[in-house]
């Protein structure tokens, strides 16, 4: 299974990439598992500090997360199921192009 991840604003700068493609051996994963994989792949303390909430072990609350153009607040939040060819976008509430 392949998932495309897109970053905007400061996340794009801290990750040194606008997007990346992650592969999983499973047919689907939960969004929270994708977030943990992103932190593993992007090895950077600054990125992790800006991206991950240490208490919830999920993205910080000021980051908008879209799964196939739908806000995760309209889906199942961190339990949202991610399937093959899904596009997940992370937009900090303070962002640029």
CATH label of the domain that carries residue 65: 3.10.20.30
- Is residue 68 one of the residues assigned to a domain? yes
Give pLDDT, residue 96.
52
Distance CA 33, CA 12 (A): 20
- Is residue 82 one of the residues assigned to a domain? yes
Q: How many domains does the chain have?
A: 1
Distance CA 62, CA 10 (A): 12
- Is residue 97 one of the residues assigned to a domain? no
In contact, 94 and 10? CB cutoff 8 Å: yes
In contact, 87 and 61? CB cutoff 8 Å: no
Tokens representing 85 are 């060819």
In the three-class reduction of DSSP (H, G, I as helix; E, B as strand; rest coil), residue 82 is classed as strand
**Sign for the pseudo-dihedral over CA of 45, 46, 47, 50:** positive
- Is residue 48 one of the residues assigned to a domain? yes
- Is residue 53 one of the residues assigned to a domain? yes
- Is residue 60 one of the residues assigned to a domain? yes
> Is residue 32 over pLDDT 90?
yes
- Is residue 11 one of the residues assigned to a domain? yes
| Per-residue pLDDT tens digits for 35-89 | 999 999 998 899 999 999 999 999 999 999 999 999 999 999 999 999 999 999 9
Full-model pTM: 0.94
């Amino acid at each position: 299974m392949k998932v495309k991840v897109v970053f905007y604003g400061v996340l794009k700068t801290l990750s040194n990439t606008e997007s990346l493609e992650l592969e999983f051996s499973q047919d689907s994963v939960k969004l929270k598992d994708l977030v943990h994989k992103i932190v593993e792949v992007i090895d950077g303390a600054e990125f992790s500090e800006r991206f991950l909430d240490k208490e919830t072990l999920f993205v910080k609350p000021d980051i908008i997360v879209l799964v196939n153009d739908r806000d995760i607040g309209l889906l199942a939040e961190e339990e949202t199921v991610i399937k093959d060819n899904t596009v997940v976008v992370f937009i900090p509430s303070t962002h640029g192009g």
